Structure formats: C-alpha cells, structure tokens
Amino acid sequence: MNRKVIFEQMGWFNPATAAVARGEKAVANYDEDTVTMAVAAAMDCLDGLSRDGAGGLYLASTSLPFAQRQNAVIVSEALDFPAGVRTADFTGTLKGGTTALLAALDAAGAEGSGPFLVAASESRVGKPGSSQEHTFGDGAAALLVGRENVIAEFKGSFSVSHDFVDYRRLNEERFEHGWEERWIREEGYGKIIPEAALGLAKKYRLKPGDFARIVIGCPVAALVAGLGKGMGARPEQIQDNLAASAGDTGTALPLMMLVAAIEQSKPGDKILVLSYGNGSDALYFEVTPEIEKRRDRKGISGHLPLRADFTSYGKYLVFRDLIPLEVGIRGEEIAPMAMSVLYREGKSISALVGSRCRTCGTPQYPPQKVCVNPACGAVDDMEPYRFSDKIGKLASYTGDNLAFSLDPPAVYGLVDFKEGGRLFLDITDCQLEKLKVGMPVRMTFRRKYADVRRAIFGYYWKATPA
C-alpha cells in the first residue's frame, strides 16, 4: 500500500506524518497473520527439502495470534515437520528474530542435532493517526540452520541487552506506547546498534571494511546511512532496510535484510547483521559456494515484485479489524471448531497431508481408508502423501457473493494435481477476472476463519495462482 493512501485519510489529524507518508508498506491479506506468513517464508525456504530429521523450529514475533497455544508448533505442523522437534516462540522484543536465530545456531550446531528452522514474522497494527500506521509493514523471513550444505557460515556474534524502554505494550493491549522519538533515535538506534557492532568487531578483530554487506536492522531509513558512516562503512556496504518497499517489519526486519543480503552476495562475502530492540544482537556470516545451488528461492527479490496495489484505506481498516463491520447473518454464523477433530486429523488439516493408495498409486484427499479410485477400492492400504508443496491446476472455480468473506466475492474451486488427487479449496491472492480453468495454482497456508469469541483461528490451505 502506498503510504499516501493512509495520509490522504488521516493526514488531517496528524500533519506531521507527512514525513513518513512516502513509499510503500506491505499489508498482509485478510487471511494472513504472523503464523501464516511464517509458513509462507518457510515453504519458500524448504522448497524441495526433506523434513526428516529436523531438529526444531523457532518462531520470533511481537504480533503472534495466540498468547497461549504455541504459535511455533502451528508453523511446525503446517510444514509437516516430525513430532520429535523442539519448538519455541521468541517474543516480547524486536530483536527476537536474531535472538531466535542465535538460539537455533547454538542448538543446531551441537553434534548430532538436526537442522533448525528459524522464522521471524511480524504484522503490527499502528494506531490510526500515528506515524507507525505508515511505517509498520507486514513481513516474514525464514532460515534453515544446520551443519550441512551451508550457504552462509555463521562465524560469530556479540549481544548487548538494555532495558531501553522505547516502545512498550501490555499483553491485553493492541497498540504500543512510545517515548519521544528523538530520544529513541539518538540514545536508542544511535548508540545501542553501534555498541553491538563495535563489540563484535573488537571480539573478532574485524574492521568495517571486512564486510561486503552490513545489515543494520534499523527501520528508520534516514538513520541507516548515518549509522553506517559512524561505524566507518561505505554506503555501498549498507543493506537496504526495506523502508520504502515493505516498511518496518519488526522482528522480521533483520532476517529479511539478511536474506536479501545473501541473495546479493557471492561466495566469500562476509555479512554483518545488527538487530535492534532492548539491546542488539550482532552476528556475522561468510557466504559459501553452496549459495549457487540455492538461488532458485523467491526470497526477498522474488517476493517484492509479487506485490498487488492496496488502494483502499477502508479495506485496510477492515482487514486489520480496526472498524466494526456489518458482516450480516452469514458472517456471524461460525460453526464451532472441534479441537478433538483437529488433533485427530492432525497433519491432514494442518499440513495438507492426504494419502496415496499403495495398490493403485492414486493420491487422495482427505486421507482415505477406502481408495477413492472406483476401479481399485483397496481398503487400509494407504501411505501419507503431502499436497502442500505440489502444483495443481484449477479445474473449475466461482466467485461467490452470497458466501461470507472479508474480501468478497469468496473465490473457491476444484484443484487437480498432476500426480493425481483433487481438492476443493478457497483461492486467495487473486482477482476473479484473471482466473482461468486449467491455470496452475500452488498451495498457501492461511487463516480460514476467525472465531474470536472462542479464541479460535482456523488455519488451512488455500490455492493461489502459481
């Protein structure tokens, strides 16, 4: 969304926000949250990789949907990770993304450990009329941390922690409180980030010139150049902080910038990563020749062009649940979700795992006991079969104006997979007019429905044009 869309609506109230009403902020779709965005980043990261032997999954965010019910395990299940993994949420601070990464590096670095997936995901809502409403952006990044096939080798870190109360928020609060912005700039970003950077340089006897790229996880674009200069870095070493293209993605920001930096690097390049939030973590990596084998990921450079213009401030308020909405009787009607069914069906709902008949080879969904192939009909001869990473083709679809959707019409259709199997799915991130029978679609993990009265978000997979 172009920030002017916000300023046009709210600038009358806070003219000072003109200073930040430039560039674009990434806005999550109505069916996305930090859990689904973490899954999306992780699916890109894991594309084609086996889940066997995974050691754990760490999720960092200050805007997780659940205060109780671990968010990381929802991501882990959606990715079809085995049950024998360590999962944890890292929350409460904007430097949580790098802290989760350090924790994963520690854990996965241990002899015998499987790889850890680290995801940082953020979708904060700025209060209408605030500068945060303009600057905050939604985004996520995921990194797989392990001992084999390493594309960027972790070389060392240095952390500092300070109870520097720039922004704060209580559990039951939706919007944060801040202290004076000039103080945060000068005493916060301006001193704490350099403290970590200099600490790391001293510890490992490095100079700023040793790094090909320096990720300064400071969301204020105007400060980044000065911080770099203060450390003695040249402008071309400083990684773009995405302020103009995505916005302040909080815990995800330094990891998103790291992903972008790796994409732009060649083997041998050293990358310094600096996060910010109640202190700072400094980490440094060296890119290896393995990077050439992983250039197929969409990453930051692949995802930024997939943008769609978000032109309606009213729609933004609805998507982020900032205004009451007449949803009508169909919107009010929410069938209770049976937790026992969710647990019993497990991966079939969370990871879109169906079954494949061992007798005739037909993939099918949901997993069947009696083979759906009318010429087969074998009983209890199935193996698990994951659809979430397969490309399907749209066999038919509709845009339903009668069904409730926060973004009408509700678009859904039947999806056929080349290897076999047919699923009946919602279709998201699309325009009805651009759909065609036969077009390729991929699977994306989304929030299917929200039942806030019962503290339930129903997650499931949807199709989206591939």
Partner 1 sequence: MAKGIKNEVAIIGMGCTRFGELWNKSGADLIIEAFQEALADANMDKKAIEAVWFSNCFEEINFGKSGIPLPRTLKLPFLPVTRIENFCASGSDGFRNACYAVASGACDIALAIGAEKLKDTGYGGLPDFGTVMGSENRMLFPNVTAPGGFAMTATAYFAKYGLSAEEGKRVLSRISVKSHHNGTLNPKAHLRREITIEQAMKAPIVAWPLGLFDCCGVSDGAACAIICRTDMAKQFRKDPVYVKALQIAATSGEELGYQDWDITHIKTTRQAAERAYKEAGITKPREEISMMEVHDCFSITEFVTYEDLMISPEGKAREDVESGFFDLDGRIPCQPDGGLKCFGHPIGASGLRMIYEMYKQLQGKADKRQINNPRIGLTHNLGGFPSMSVVSLVIVGNTL
Q: Which residue ranges make up the site for partner 1 (CB under 8 A)?
A: 329-330, 333-338, 341-342, 345, 349, 362, 364-366, 368, 372-374, 395-405, 409-410, 412-414, 416, 420-422, 424-426, 432, 436-438, 448-449, 458, 460
Provide the minimum distance between the beta carbon of 377 and partner 1 in the complex, in angstroms, as a whole number: 10
Residue number, 142 or 357, with CB nearest to partner 1: 357
Provide the minimum distance between the beta carbon of 312 and partner 1 in the complex, in angstroms, as a whole number: 20
Dist CA 428 CA 424 (whole Å): 13
C-alpha distances (whole Å) from 50 to each of 27, 37, 211 are 31, 20, 33
Residue number, 184 or 439, with CB nearest to partner 1: 439
Cβ pair 286, 152 in contact under 8 A: yes
Residue number, 15 or 331, with CB nearest to partner 1: 331
| DSSP letter, residue 453 | G
Angle at which helices 71-78 and 34-46 cross, to 10°: 40
Residue number, 109 or 377, with CB nearest to partner 1: 377
Provide the minimum distance between the beta carbon of 449 and partner 1 in the complex, in angstroms, as a whole number: 8
The total of other beta-carbon atoms located within 10 Å of residue 379's CB is: 11
Dist CA 132 CA 20 (whole Å): 9
C-alpha distances (whole Å) from 272 to each of 132, 254, 303, 341 are 27, 10, 23, 46
Phi-psi region of 438 (alpha: psi -120 to 50; beta: other; left: phi over 0): left
Helices (H), 275-319: 299-303, 313-319
- Phi, psi angles (nearest 5°) of residue 296: -80, -5
Strand 86-90 and strand 56-60: the pairing is parallel
Provide the minimum distance between the beta carbon of 376 and partner 1 in the complex, in angstroms, as a whole number: 10
DSSP 3-state percent helix, strand, coil across the chain (nearest 5)? 35, 25, 40
Q: What is the 3-state secondary structure (H, E, C) of 304-352?
A: HHHCCCCCCHHHHHHHCCCCCCCCHHHHHCCCCCCHHHHHHHCHHHHCC
Provide the minimum distance between the beta carbon of 462 and partner 1 in the complex, in angstroms, as a whole number: 8
Residue number, 47 or 451, with CB nearest to partner 1: 451
Cβ pair 450, 66 in contact under 8 A: no
Dist CA 231 CA 5 (whole Å): 36
Closest CA to 246 of 14, 454, 41, 11: 41
Provide the minimum distance between the beta carbon of 391 and partner 1 in the complex, in angstroms, as a whole number: 15
Provide the minimum distance between the beta carbon of 422 and partner 1 in the complex, in angstroms, as a whole number: 5
Closest CA to 416 of 386, 396, 445, 436: 396
Provide the minimum distance between the beta carbon of 343 and partner 1 in the complex, in angstroms, as a whole number: 12
Residue number, 32 or 281, with CB nearest to partner 1: 32
Provide the minimum distance between the beta carbon of 217 and partner 1 in the complex, in angstroms, as a whole number: 38
Residue number, 109 or 331, with CB nearest to partner 1: 331
Dist CA 156 CA 153 (whole Å): 9
- Phi, psi angles (nearest 5°) of residue 82: -65, 160
Please name the residues in contact with 15: beta carbons below 8 A apart, sequence gap of 6 or more: none
Closest CA to 264 of 295, 290, 225, 222: 295
Provide the minimum distance between the beta carbon of 87 and partner 1 in the complex, in angstroms, as a whole number: 22
Provide the minimum distance between the beta carbon of 219 and partner 1 in the complex, in angstroms, as a whole number: 37
| DSSP letter, residue 214 | E
Residue number, 112 or 336, with CB nearest to partner 1: 336
Residue number, 206 or 337, with CB nearest to partner 1: 337
Give me 121's structure tokens. 């995901």
Provide the minimum distance between the beta carbon of 32 and partner 1 in the complex, in angstroms, as a whole number: 17
Residue number, 290 or 416, with CB nearest to partner 1: 416
Residue number, 93 or 355, with CB nearest to partner 1: 355
What H or E segment, with its residue span, contains residue 242?
A: none
Give me 44's structure tokens. 């890109």
Residue number, 284 or 365, with CB nearest to partner 1: 365
Coil, helix or strand at residue 464: strand
